[in-house]
Homo-oligomer: A and B are copies of this chain.
Amino acid sequence: MGKFDNLLNQCKFDDRGLISAVAQDHLTGEVLMLAWMNREALEQTLQRRVACYWSRSRGKLWVKGETSGHFQKVKEVLIDCDQDAVVLRIEQTGGACHTGYRSCFYRRVEEDGGLTVTGEKVFEEGEVYGKP
């Protein structure tokens, strides 16, 4: 029996077998992304201290950074009252967002309904993920 089995058994994975995971910069508190974890992704994250998610679009386990090099070193994991969501307090290499912004939440909704880019661009998408 693994040391995280008790915790994993208590987690309330939904009908797709998933919980939500919020990644937050451990120093600034900036919310960087929201993603999904199945049981294996959460166990890997806890064991390796590197964020690992479940990619719904690709249908596979996804170590964040495996393509881009933009790994997330896990400093702290918090779990919510319902045990169906976690917060990862992380150290982000590069940017969390595939668009090149540090955070996926790089746009503010203004009171008139418009969007303003408020996030910091930290890399060029084409240079990291490659483009044909």
Contact = CB atoms under 8 A, between A and B. Distances in A.
A112 B4 CA distance: 7
> Which of A2, A3, A113 has the largest number of chain B CB atoms within 10 A?
A113
Interface in A1-33: 2-7, 20, 22, 24, 28-31, 33
27 contacts: A4-B109, A4-B113, A7-B113, A7-B115, A20-B34, A22-B22, A22-B34, A28-B29, A29-B29, A29-B30, A31-B31, A31-B78, A34-B80, A34-B85, A46-B109, A76-B108, A77-B108, A78-B105, A78-B107, A78-B108, A78-B109, A78-B118, A79-B108, A80-B104, A81-B98, A85-B105, A86-B105
